[in-house]
Amino acid sequence: MKKTLTIGFIGLGLIGGSIAKALRQARPDDILIAYDKNKEGLIQAMADNTINQATDTIGSAFSDCDVVFLCTPVSTCIEYLQPLKSILSPDCILTDVGSVKSAIHQAVEQVGLSDHFIGGHPMTGSEKSGYSHSKAHLLENAYYILTPCDETDSYRHELMLSLVRAMNALPITLNYKEHDRITAAISHLPHIIAYTLVNLVRETDNPEGMMRLLAAGGFKDITRIASSSPEMWQQICFENQDSILNVLSDYEKRMYDIGNAIRNRQEDALLDAFTKARDYRNDIPVSHAKGAIEPSYEIFVDIIDESGAIATIATILATNGISIRNIGIVHNREFQEGVLHIEFYEQEASEKAAGLLDRFHYVVHTVG
């Protein structure tokens, strides 16, 4: 790898900004150039020395780049391919950060940029957007999937692997079709199920709203991801349409089989299905790595229902610089231990809070 690289960013929002900040920390001598329609983000990135140059056009500023990151929605990335074809140097790597790979790979092939392109999918994110919310550690311990083209040479592939490692992310290389098949099953289908289950409860709730009142424990756990951006998931459903429809069809068949087993009181079939699922779920390795679905950072605390109990805990956390995302009493505790539920923005804050409250002799339950 060259001692210094020139790296371009088209789009400098949450993900683009976080990649730029991570690379700036790891490789301070590299030259970073960025384009974004949002001038405010570029001004901030220049002011905090994340980038060396801001540009208001996708033009000659990118002609000397060794790597160009496309950090915009897939449809916009595709629009930029043709203008970039006449700009990129022969050895330049073009990569993206989208969560669906088929559309961009097919567009790259049509434009004739397959020898330049390595798809990328950093499996991380936030409910917030824009450069102002980007941070270098957003990619730490996050799986970062790379999807090279058949024409990708070993030098380009190794360079991308080294850059991903420099971000403190965990690189995994997949064929782009396999990537979309996997993410359809472990990310896209779960979101569709969560949205559908919430709507089922919403539409069948009684006029007094008792389902909503009593919903907690397992229901809130498996539907947490239904709080994600509806617009983003609408787009993903169309971008990964074929893979989602295939896995959805498989899921529908399995739901039919479960219903049939319940209807016909097939005890062995039900027990076998539940046992295999439990064993597979329990064999998923415990890891700090971020996967396809953004994890929740939460703890449960046993407290006595008395005046000032919640305020005391909130004060302990606040005075130690720990920000709370959400806090509340758990009324339905069939599936959860602990009376007080506290959510945090980051894993580090969750772990720090658990240790701190333990030292104050609170009984703390972490989510495994």
Q: What is the pLDDT of residues 127-178, one digit of tens each?
A: 678 899 899 988 888 899 999 999 999 999 999 999 999 999 999 999 999 9
Higher pLDDT, 281 or 1: 281
Considering the chain, what percentage of its residues have pLDDT values greater than 90? Answer: 58
CA dihedral 149, 244, 225, 291 (to 10 degrees): -30
pLDDT of residue 38: 87
pLDDT, mean over the chain: 88
Question: 308-346 pLDDT, tens per residue?
Answer: 888 888 899 989 999 888 887 765 544 455 678 888 888
Closest CA to 123 of 241, 249, 291, 359: 291
Contacts of 51 (CB under 8 A, 6+ apart): 9, 12, 20, 32, 33, 34, 42, 45
Given a contact cutoff of 8 angstroms between Cβ atoms, the answer to whether 180 and 243 are in contact is: yes
- What is the spatial distance between Cα 94 and Cα 303, in angstroms, rounded to a whole number? 53
Considering the chain, what percentage of its residues have pLDDT values greater than 70? Answer: 92
Given a contact cutoff of 8 angstroms between Cβ atoms, the answer to whether 228 and 191 are in contact is: yes
Least confident interval from 40-44, 222-226, 335-339: 335-339
**Cα-Cα-Cα-Cα dihedral sign, residues 139, 140, 141, 145:** positive
pTM of the shown model: 0.78
Q: Averaged over 244-257, what is the pLDDT?
A: 95
Neighbours of 259 (CB within 10 A): 10
Task: Report residue 202 as tokens.
Answer: 């919403």
